[in-house]
Each structure stands twice: as C-alpha cells, then as structure tokens.
Amino acid sequence: MSLSKDAGHLFRFAFLFVIAFAVFLVVRHFVVPKTFGEYGHYRGAAIGEIAARPLHYAGHDTCETCHADVAEAKKAGKHAGVNCEACHGPLANHAADPSIQPAHLDTAVLCIRCHAASAAKPKDFPQVDAQQHSGGLACETCHKPHSPAIQTEGAK
Amino acid sequence: MLPAAAIAWKYVLAGTPEESPNYNKSDHWWSMLIDIPKCIGCGNCVRACAAENDVPEGHFRTWVERYHVDDWHMESPQVISPDGGKEGFPAASEDSGKYFFVPKLCNHCADSPCTQVCPVGATFISPDGVVLVDQTYCLGCAYCVQACPYGCRYIHPEKRVADKCTLCYHRITQGLTTACCENCPTGARQLVDLKDPNDPIHAFLKTHHVQVLKPQMATGAKVFYNELDGSVR
C-alpha cells in the first residue's frame, strides 16, 4: 500500500511521458512526408518528381521516325555519329508539334564550332583555318552538312 | 475563378507525375564514360546541359577544362575554362608540351561525400546510382557544396537550394541518353549502365587505361576517364 503511495509521482511522470510520446507521434505523422524512408533517408517521391521534368532534346531516334531520308544520307558519311540536335539545337517542341519550325542554321557558326583549327584538338580530328581554307566562302557551298565529304554531281 | 479551376482540373486529369512504367530502378546502375582523346572542346555538352536543365547563367552542371602541360611544369598544368567552355576555347598555337580537354560533371559517387553531410536528407543516392537533390526538402545550407571534392554543386541563385547534375534522370528513365551524350559530336561522352551486361563499358574497361578523378578520396566515383593524364586534378 505504502509502495504505490510512494510511487505516485512516478506514475504521474509515466503518464506525462505517454502523452508527450503520443503528441510526438501525431505531429510526426503530419510533418514527415508519406514516402520518406521508402528507399532510404529521403523522400522517395522526389525520384518520381525529378524523373517527370520536361524534355528539351527529343533524341535522334525520335527525329529519325519522320526524317528517315536525312538519317539515310548521314549514315555513310563522316557525320554519322553526330546526332541531329547537336547542330539543330533542342527540338522536343518541334517533335511534339511539327508545325513549330526549327530555326534556320548558320553553317558559318556551326561548322567552325568543331572544325576551327587549334593545336589543343586531337591531331586526327579534321580542322581548318576557315579564312585560308575557303576564303570566306560558305561551308555548304562544297560540303553538305549531313554528309560532308565533297561529292560528285547528282549526289545528295 | 473559372480559368483557375480549369487549370487545376487539367492537373487532376494528368495525375501525379510518374516515371516510365517499364523502368525498374533496381535494374540499373548509371555512370558515364569520358574518352579524353576524342574530346575536341566544342562545348556542345555544356550548352546542351544548360538548355535541357535550365541551368542558371554562370553556373554549370557540366563544364570543359582545357589543360596545357608544358615540358617543364608537369605537375602544375595551366587550366582554362572560359564560361565553362560553353562557347569553345581560344585557339591554341603550336606550343611546347601537350594540350587536352577534360569534360567534368558530377561523378555520381557510390559513396558520395555530399549525401553524407546533408542534415535533412534532401540529397541522396537513388536506387539506380544517381546522386539527386530533393529541392522541396533542401534548406540551402550548402554543406554539400563544400563537401563535394569535385566542385560539382552550386546553390541555385533563384531557388536558393542546392542544384547539380541529375545525369538527366528525366531522360535516362525514359530510355534516352543524357543531353550531353546526345549532343557530343565525337562520342567522347557515353552514358553507361554498369548493371547492363550488354553495355560496351565492360569490354572497354578491360581493354583501356581508365581512371576516375581523385581516387585517393575513396568516393567511389563512377565517371570513368579514358587515358586521363596524371596532371588532372
């Protein structure tokens, strides 16, 4: 009898502890996102949100579903490994809605970006000093960008 | 009132954003291969990354450095990266020593220092091996920016949260390659799936001299550099 009387303050403390723990659990339930801890110490839903960001580059497979002729022209040439959007720029909006016309390209800027001569570039990469090479003549006068080797009459 | 409700309804109809249904996270372990002898320093990757990911001006998720190691200072190369190499590099005249380009990006470390220091669990390694930032959870304390030994993170100037390369997570989960790999004209950058037994990386690693950056940091870096020069830091 005297034991429980002496231990009364302990029960009161235990009761308070249980209340505090219950409050903690309730607050935690509302504050911690549902998917936190799904894969690790982070919000699992964040992965899906990042994966759902919009595309800007459609990818060459998408381009080639419509532009098979260009893909064919490129295949044999030196630019076979250069994907469409590397020169044409991001065109996911054009792929989604073909009525959106891509911007016209300027070979004077584009070709030089890769092919301007520099001692820093790998020695086996084709490089030119544009002024010396063509004297200001536009690149596409001789080289077709999709298949840049100079070709004979009638070739595309 | 009505237009706002209409817009809200459009999002209800669209549902919660989901990943590609055929994509299974546990089937992949993403990384990248960078073939230094193929890099021409055109800056296509830097521009593509900025366009794909709306990278703020003056910050970079990937950038290209040009090294010049001359014959007398093998240990202290001259490194330049004007605007991250976005607009290419000034022409190098024939000079002593050697030049080469080193494209850099997040190494998506398997044991990454940046995720270990985050106090709130806002940055993490996804089950498919990509280091990502949960920007709704990030406080912007920048511990991770300091922790990254490769300097691959920055605080987004408008959102005030940590931002970094996602390895184009929104693309690779749809079966596309990253924006930088898609736009590399010489194939110097290749997206790699180490869990895919048919990925050419396995043969490549066996037959080439491949390095990672700062191996002494034991970060488990997963961006592999072919023929990396010893002077690269």
Which among B98, B132, B133, B161 is the top mutation candidate for probing chain A, defined by the most A β-carbons within 10 Å of its own β-carbon? B132
Do A66 and A46 fall within a single domain?
no
DSSP state of B78: E
- Annotate B141-188 with three-state secondary structure: CCHHHHHCCCCCCEECCCCCCEECCCCCHHHHCCCCCCHHHHCCCCCC
Confidence band for A1, pLDDT divided at 50, 70 and 90: low
- How much is the pLDDT for B91? 85
- The model's pLDDT over A79-105, given as tens digits with 9 standing for 90+, comes to 999 999 999 999 999 999 999 999 888
* Percent above pLDDT 70 for chain B: 91
The count of domains in chain B is 1
Q: What are phi and psi of A33, to 5 degrees?
A: -60, 150
Instruction: Judge whether A77 lies within some domain.
Output: yes
In a domain, A31, yes or no: yes
- Is B182 contained in some domain? yes
Which chain A residues are Cβ-neighbours of B61 within 8 angstroms?
Answer: none
Q: Is residue B15 part of a domain?
A: no
Q: Is the CB of A55 less than 8 angstroms away from the CB of B52?
A: yes
The answer to whether residue A122 is domain-embedded is: yes
- A47: containing domain: 2-51
- Could you report the predicted ipTM of this complex, rounded to two decimals? 0.84
Instruction: Look at chain A and count its residues.
Output: 156
Same domain? For A66 and A127 the reply is yes
Residue A68 within a domain? yes
Q: Are A111 and B44 in contact (CB under 8 A)?
A: no
Which residues in A lie closer than 8 A to residue B183 (C-beta atoms)? 57, 83, 85-86
Residues A75 and A94 in one domain: yes
Tell whether A36 and A74 lie within a shared domain. no
What CATH number is attached to the domain comprising B198? 3.30.70.20
Q: How far apart are CA B215 and CA B135, in angstroms?
A: 29
Nearest-CA residue of chain A relative to B66? A120
Distance of CA B172 to the CA centre of its chain: 13
Select from B40, B94, B126 the Cβ nearest to the Cβ of A47. B126
- Its domain, for residue B128, covers 27-226
Mean pLDDT taken over chain A: 89
Residue A66 shares a structural domain with residue A84: yes
Q: How many domains does chain A have?
A: 2
| Chain B CA closest to residue A89 | B48
Q: Is residue B187 part of a domain?
A: yes
- Is the Cβ pair B42, A89 closer than 8 Å? no
Average pLDDT over residues A19-28: 97
Residues A86 and A129 in one domain: yes
> Can you give the pLDDT at residue B16?
45
Has residue A32 been placed in a domain? yes
**Which residue of A51, A57, A116 is in closest CB contact with B179?**
A57
**Are A90 and A129 in the same domain?**
yes
Q: Are A105 and B76 in contact (CB under 8 A)?
A: no
| B130 contacts A38 by C-beta, under 8 angstroms | no
Q: Is residue B20 part of a domain?
A: no
> Is the domain of A37 the same as that of A6?
yes
User: Could you tell me if A120 and A85 lie in one domain?
Assistant: yes
**What pLDDT does residue B1 have?**
40
Task: Name the residue among A42, A53, A90 with its Cβ closest to that of B51.
Answer: A90
Tens digits of per-residue pLDDT, B98-130? 999 999 999 999 999 999 999 999 999 999 999
Q: Residue with structure tokens 């408008």?
A: B158
CB B47 within 8 A of CB A89: no
What b/e readout covers B199-233, taking b as 16+ CB neighbours within 10 angstroms? bebeebeeeeebbbbeeeeebebbbbbbebeebbe
Q: Scanning every residue of chain B, which has its alpha carbon at the shortest distance from the alpha carbon of A53?
A: B170
Contact A52 B170 (CB under 8 A): yes
- Same domain for A91 and A109, yes or no, is yes
pLDDT digits (tens, 9 = 90+) for A139-151: 888 898 999 988 7
In this structure, what are the phi and psi dihedrals at residue B213, rounded to the nearest 5 degrees? Answer: -80, 140
A113/B122 touch (CB, cutoff 8 Å), yes or no: no
pTM: 0.87
Asked whether the beta carbons of residue B179 and residue A81 sit closer than 8 angstroms, the reply is: no
In a domain, A151, yes or no: no
Give the residue carrying structure tokens 């590399």.
Answer: B184
pLDDT tens figures, A119-144: 899 999 999 988 889 888 888 888 98
Domain shared by A102 and A120, yes or no: yes
Mark whether A73 and A10 lie in a shared domain: no
Mean pLDDT in runs of 10 for chain B (233 residues)? 48 49 90 96 96 96 94 85 93 82 97 96 96 96 97 96 97 96 96 95 94 95 94 87
* pLDDT at residue number A136: 81
